[in-house]
Amino acid sequence: MHKILKIFLLIVGIISAILWYMLPEKDMPMAEAAQSGAMNTMFMITYLLLGIAVVASLLFTLMNLIANPKGLKKTLFVFVGFLLVVAIAYVMASGTDVSAEYAAMSTESTVKKVGMGLNVFFILTIVAIAAIILPGIKRLFGK
List the one residue out of 81, 83, 91, 78 whose CA is nearest residue 119.
Answer: 91
Residues 122 and 78 in one domain: yes
Write down the pLDDT at residue 102: 67
CB 45 within 8 A of CB 12: yes
Q: Are residues 76 and 61 in the same domain?
A: no
In 3D space, the residue among 123, 68, 69, 71 whose CA is nearest the CA of residue 93 turns out to be 123
Contacts of 20 (CB under 8 A, 6+ apart): 42
Residues 54 and 99 in one domain: no
* pLDDT digit string, tens, across residues 11-70: 988 998 888 888 887 777 777 777 778 878 888 998 999 999 999 999 998 888 888 878
From 28, 48, 67, the end of a domain falls on 67
Structural domain tally of the chain?
Answer: 2
Same domain, 136 and 104: yes
C-alpha atoms less than 13 angstroms from C-alpha of 137 in its C-beta half-sphere? 6
- Measured CA to CA, the distance from residue 93 to residue 105 in angstroms comes to 19
Q: Is the pLDDT of residue 96 over 80?
A: no
| Same domain, yes or no: 81 and 24 | no
The answer on 81 and 41 residing in a single domain is: no
Q: Which domain holds residue 54?
A: 1-67
Confidence of residue 88 (pLDDT cuts 50, 70, 90): very high
**pLDDT class of 143 with cuts at 50, 70, 90:** low
Residues 33 and 79 in one domain: no
Is 49 in the same domain as 76?
Answer: no
Asked whether the beta carbons of 119 and 93 are under 8 A apart, the reply is yes
pLDDT above 80 (res 103)? no
78 and 141 belong to one structural domain: yes
pLDDT value of residue 66: 84
